[in-house]
Amino acid sequence: MLPPLQWLAPVDAIQRTRLKRTRLCARVWNESRRRRRPSASAPLWYESVVQRLLVPIALAIAFALASSPACGPSPAPRSAAPGPTVRRADPTPPPGPGDVAEPEEPAPAAPAAAPRAELAAACEAPAIDLHDVFDVGVCQVEGKGDRIPPGIKRSIEPGVIQVSAGRPARGAIRLENTGSQPVDVFLSLPCELDDQVRTWIENPASGKPVDTNKPDCEGRTASGCLATVHQIRMPPGGTARLPFEAATAVRAWDDRCEAHRGKGAVPRGRYKLRVRALFLGAILDADIVVR
């Protein structure tokens, strides 16, 4: 920082320069006034009037010239020497050879999967009895639709049913989880529990029924029935079974499917048992041997 006298030196030089300009301008104006002055024979009152009018104007012009560089350019004030340029430091400078880089913060872990809802013991077991599930309603859920995962195998057990002629054949609809993870199965139960299974026996050669004259009269359809949804959880290899009985007697229905009459037993032989599972919306097959 400059001393006080050195700071005042440029200001004093500027004031002296402006004063010189003011005196020069006044001298030039007086010289021009003297040249325009009339002869000595002019009356004295004229000269006094002119002086009274022009003196204030001259003073105003002189003051204006003193405060502005009108008579020539004024020397520019000497500015202080520029200081050294300071560069802003990088907020994150690269680490030097001896620096140890700070470890980066780990990314937030993905949220864990929501735990499965707790189910009753009858709804989550290696072997589930679907008759008890549907009858008691302990596995019933609201706001769900039926959903059977692809890894669930549907079949009739046993694969070959043997029965005496005229006696009911007993079997079961079997669901099995063939995957490696537990799965939730949602089963829709339309109508009543007794309406879930309908069976008939076909001749495998002709494809015609041998135990009834009207297969459509053997059970109800799901149309017009209210349905409930039941949730079960099957572990890997777990099974769910719904037992049923299939009659081996021949039935003859009337035209309205309201009544039927017996016409004896199914002849001995090997046939195909067709089982329609209303809660699965599918028809499953098994072999049946009538002795």
- Assigned domain for 88 exists: no
Question: Do 150 and 25 fall within a single domain?
Answer: no
Question: Do 127 and 17 fall within a single domain?
Answer: no
Output the average pLDDT for the chain.
Answer: 77
3-state secondary structure of 263: strand
3-state secondary structure of 246: strand
pLDDT tens profile 25-41:
677 667 666 665 555 44
Which residue range forms the structural domain that includes residue 3? 1-34+62-68
Sequence-distant (6+) residues with CB within 8 A of 200 are 209, 211, 212, 215, 218, 274
- Assigned domain for 54 exists: no
Question: Do 128 and 266 fall within a single domain?
Answer: yes
- Assigned domain for 91 exists: no
List, as one string, the DSSP characters of 159-224: SEEEE-TTSPEEEEEEEEE-SSS-EEEEEEEES-GGGSEEEEEE-TTT--BSSBS-GGGGS--STT
Question: Do 270 and 129 fall within a single domain?
Answer: yes
Q: Does residue 144 carry a pLDDT above 80?
A: no
Place of tokens 């039935």: 251
d(CA 182, CA 134): 21
Question: Do 272 and 164 fall within a single domain?
Answer: yes
Least confident of 53-67, 125-139, 188-202, 230-244: 53-67
In the chain the first and final C-alpha atoms are separated, in Å, by 124
pLDDT bracket for residue 215 (50, 70, 90): confident
- Assigned domain for 76 exists: no
Q: Which pLDDT belongs to residue 70? A: 44
Sequence-distant (6+) residues with CB within 8 A of 26 are 58, 62
Q: Which pLDDT belongs to residue 154? A: 95
- Assigned domain for 17 exists: yes
List, as one string, the DSSP characters of 65-128: HHHTT-SSPPPPPPPPPPPPP-PPPPSSPPP-TT--PPPPPPPPPPPPPPPPPP--GGGBSSEE
- Assigned domain for 148 exists: yes
pLDDT bracket for residue 56 (50, 70, 90): confident
- Assigned domain for 81 exists: no
Q: Tell me the residue length of the chain.
A: 291
Question: Do 5 and 144 fall within a single domain?
Answer: no
Question: Do 151 and 276 fall within a single domain?
Answer: yes
Question: Do 21 and 128 fall within a single domain?
Answer: no
d(CA 179, CA 171): 24
Reported pTM? 0.57
Question: Do 279 and 147 fall within a single domain?
Answer: yes
- Assigned domain for 203 exists: yes
Q: Which pLDDT belongs to residue 19? A: 75
Question: Do 268 and 155 fall within a single domain?
Answer: yes
Instruction: Specify the number of domains making up the chain.
Output: 2
